[in-house]
Amino acid sequence: MVTWGELAVAVGMLLGLCTRTAGLIAIFLMVNFALGGYHDASLIVLNLIALLFVVMPTGQWRGLDRGLHARHPGAI
């Protein structure tokens, strides 16, 4: 499940497809890593970066989300 989750996040971020969903999946994975006992200082920074992808409309600037936003402007 970790491999598929990381692959989904990587494809979503690289293509700009569903960047908010990919950011949420990344946060979910990193929180579960921390709960599982993997504690590292980089988890805090990576969570903040993923949170930026969730909060800001980064996918609407470039990537495949740009076309989706043009087609459905009222959607999240």
**19-42 pLDDT, tens digit each:** 889 999 999 999 998 888 888 888
Q: Are 59 and 65 in contact (CB under 8 A)?
A: yes
Structure confidence at residue 42 (pLDDT): 85
pTM (2 d.p.): 0.81
If you ran DSSP here, which 8-state letter would residue 40 be given? Answer: -
User: Which of 69, 65, 67, 61 is closest to 22 using CA atoms?
Assistant: 65
